[in-house]
Structure 1
C-alpha cells in the first residue's frame, strides 16, 4: 500500500481528515498535519519529514483556493522534486471545490465533490 501526504487548507481540515480515514481503511498510510504535528513540534521539520518520506502527495483542491502559504509550499516542492526525477507523484483531488493551478491544468484529478465514493475509489486505484 502507499504512503500518502495529504496537503489541504486549514479550512478544509474536517474533509481532509475524512479522506485520510478513508485511505487508511483501504490500507494506505496517510500523513495529515492534524495527526502528525503536535504541541511543541517544529511545523517545518514535521512537514519536511512528511514530504520526504511519502512518495504520493494528495493535493486537496478547495473552494477557498490552493494558494495558502503552507499548501503552496507542499505541492510546489513535490512538483519540483518530481521534475528533478524523484519518485514522487502529485495526485489532485477536488475536496471542496476549486480548480487546479495553471501549471497542473493537464493533470487529471479525482472529483470528490460530485461523487465522494467514486472519487475515493479513483484515488485508491491511483495509489496501487
Structure 2
C-alpha cells in the first residue's frame, strides 16, 4: 500500500510494540538509515523501524501531545480506523485509565507517564467518535451510493456503526433514526428510502430474520433486483441465524468475528457494483 492511500488523520496500529493503539498520522514517509540516533528507542522499536518507511504518529491530539513526542511507526503497521476500532479501543482505554484496571488485570502496572499517555489517546478517540457521528448524522453528501440499512431495532448499535463508516467512506446511508423526523409517516418514509436507495443492506440476526418489518424492506428491493437483473440487496451476517431462503444463494459480508474485514467486503461490493452500473 502506498502512503497516498492513507490520508493524514486517525489510524490504527495493527502490528509492532504499539499494536491496538489509535493515533494521529501526521507526516509523509521517511526512510531511516544507519545514521539515525536510536538512543531514544528500545531495542524492539529500533528493530521495527530500521530501514523502513515510517509514519510519524501522535497518540492523542497533536497539539496536546507535542511535548510528549511522536512515535515512528512503519507504514505497513498502520491502517484507517473504523467505528468498531474506536469503540473497542475506547473501552480498553477506560479500563487502563480508570480504577478498574487492578480488577481486570491485577498484574498490570501503569505508571504516571503511561497513564497520561492513555488519557491523551482516550481524549483523541472520543473526539474522533463525536466528529464521525456528527458528520454521519448531518452531512449532505451527493456522491457515492445511497444505501438503505434494513435492521431490527435490537441491532441498532451495529446499524449506527455501519451508517457512520459508510458516510465516512463517501456514501449516503438511509437510517431510520436519522432520516425520519417527528411527525412524519414512518411507513411512507421507509418506502421512500427503499425506493430511492441504490442498495439495501440487510443485517441478518436472530432478531431481524423474525421481523416481518425487516423482511418487507429487503424483499421490496429484492424483487426490483430480479426484474432489473442487477444486484441491489447486500446481506450482512451479524450472528449465526437461519438465513432467509431468498438470500441463501447470495454471498454475505460476515461481521460475526471481524467487523473490519466484513465492512471492507461491503465497501468493495458497493464500489464494484457501482462501476458496473456506470
TM-score tier by shorter-chain length is: over 0.9
- Which residue number corresponds to residue 101 of structure 1? 244
Give the equivalent residue in structure 2 for 1:114.
257
Q: Relative contact order (C-alpha < 8 Å, sep 6+): which is higher?
A: 1
Conserved in 2, the CA contact under 8 Å of 1:91 and 1:109?
A: yes
CA distance, structure 2, for counterparts of residue 65 and residue 93 of structure 1? 11
Residues 52 and 88 of structure 1: is their aligned pair in 2 closer, same or farther, counting only changes over 3 Å?
A: farther
Question: Using the alignment, how far apart are the partners of 2:212 and 2:220 within structure 1?
Answer: 12
Count how many residue pairs are aligned between Structure 1 and Structure 2.
128
Kept in 1: contact 2:195–2:221 (CA 8 A): no
Map of 1:13 onto structure 2 = 156
For residue 200 of structure 2, the aligned residue among 51, 57, 60 is 57
The within-5 A match list for 1:1-128 is 1-85=144-228, 87=230, 89-128=232-271
Q: Unaligned 5+ residue runs, structure 1?
A: none
Structure 1 residues 9 and 24, CA, compared in 2 at 3 Å: closer, same or farther? same
Corresponding residue SS for 2:201 = strand
Please identify the structure whose Cα radius of gyration is greater.
2
2:189 aligned counterpart, secondary structure: helix
Deviation at 1:87, TM superposition (A): 5.0
- In structure 1, how many angstroms separate the alpha carbons of the residues matched to 2:232 and 2:210? 19
Which runs of no fewer than 5 residues in structure 2 stay unpaired?
1-143, 272-278
Deviations 1:56-99 (A, max 9, x none): 00010113242312111101111111112275610000134424
Kindly report structure 1 stretches of 4+ aligned residues shifted beyond 4 Å. none
* Per-residue deviation, residues 38-59 of structure 1 (Å, max 9, x unmatched): 2211011101110111110001
- Secondary structure class of the residue paired with 1:83: helix
Cα deviation 1:19-53 (Å, max 9, x = unaligned): 11011111110001111112211011101110111
What secondary structure, in the 3-state scheme, does the structure 1 residue paired with 2:249 have?
Answer: coil
Q: What is the RMSD of the two structures over their aligned residues, measured on CA atoms?
A: 1.5
TM value normalised by structure 1:
0.92
